Structure 1
Amino acid sequence: MTLKSRQQGVENVNKAIAESERQMCELEMQKKNSVDEVDRLRKETLELENHIAMLDRKTSLYESLLLEVQFQKPSGDVCEETERNIMDITFQRQMEDEKSHCYFRLVHNLLCQYIGSETTWIKKYPTSRYIPTLLHDVGLVVSRCRLLGEEINLMKKWGCSEAGHPGHQLCGHTERPEDIVSSVTPAKNHLIKIVKRSMNVCCETSSSQ
């Protein structure tokens, strides 16, 4: 074997070694990326599990009202279903009436009236797909009950300067109560606006007599 051919053989070996080292570096990078990806997926899985657990239990009004959703267990060998059937929807008051403000009790009473009037929770929200709608509807009712409770509480505090006089003696029969109510656009402080409108009508009627 000539010197030239030996040199060529050494060069080929060196190239092969360099290629092997390059491939090993790539494999190490792929391994590291795979480990990072596995860690990321584990964290995402944990976050999703926590999110699902939070969907099962939801609190409102400073954690004084608990909404709990019970799902049916997956049937057969299927561990996870894309859409799970809801078995029960319950509400629990977690408030001590004796230690709570009267306004807070009033809001809870309004909510209890609404919850008691709804007897078809499962029919309206039969599966996990309806959970966002359930949370939205309950949140909307909670918000409205808080506003209504605030208005009623303020009206109780204000009282009425003309409480000793029947309304029909002050206002006569120029406007029926339903006409006054219909003249006020539903919005924030709806009840208070109705009362103010009624008092204005009474004042206008009294001054014209």
Structure 2
Amino acid sequence: MDLLDTEGLSEASVNSELLCSLEVRQQELERLNIAVAEKERMIGELELEINSKRDKISNIKEETQELKKYKAVLDRMVEWKLCEKTSDRAVFNLLYGSVQLEVVFESHTDKTQHTEMLVKKVGNIKFHLQLDERNSQDYACLVHNLIGQFIETKSNWLLHDVALVVSRCRTLGEEIHRLKKWGSLKLDIMEIACKDKQIKILFSSLKVFAKFEVTL
């Protein structure tokens, strides 16, 4: 075999090795492309999942805020809090403890042919207004006077009815407090005074040179 043939065989061998190497590299590149595509697909799915989670978190936060508002409304409606209970009475606090409702039970034995049962029923309901009028704001006294008027005019009531009246009276007191504090800025209220069960509001405006009083 001459030198030319030897060189030809050597070149063919090199080319064959290069082709094999290129095929291997091509296969590796294809595997990498497949792996990259799979990772990109997974990243896309994760991004969708993250966005979905964010939306869910946002919705949960909104629902939580709505539930808190609803709870606050219920807390305002359900004014009474059971503070004491014994076998013969139960005491409920209303309006931050300044109004107490005492339910007194009567017990009697209910006898049948074969059994004997102790039965309780409501014997009396008492209200105790515990506001210190000397050291309280006039609107707080107004609220308690209105509650006292409701109690005096009703011979029969439910605890829910009392709680509803207390809630509305408390809201009235809070509104009067806000008007006393900020009413002069927006409504030209010069003075608000509460006496007994009346509210007197004095309006005064320099813009229209007017001054008048409203009694409610």
Q: TM-score, normalised by structure 2?
A: 0.40
Q: Larger Rg: 1 or 2?
A: 2
Structure with the larger strand share: 2
Greater share of helix: 1
Higher relative contact order (CA 8 A, sep 6+): 1
Question: What's the TM-score, normalizing by structure 1?
Answer: 0.41
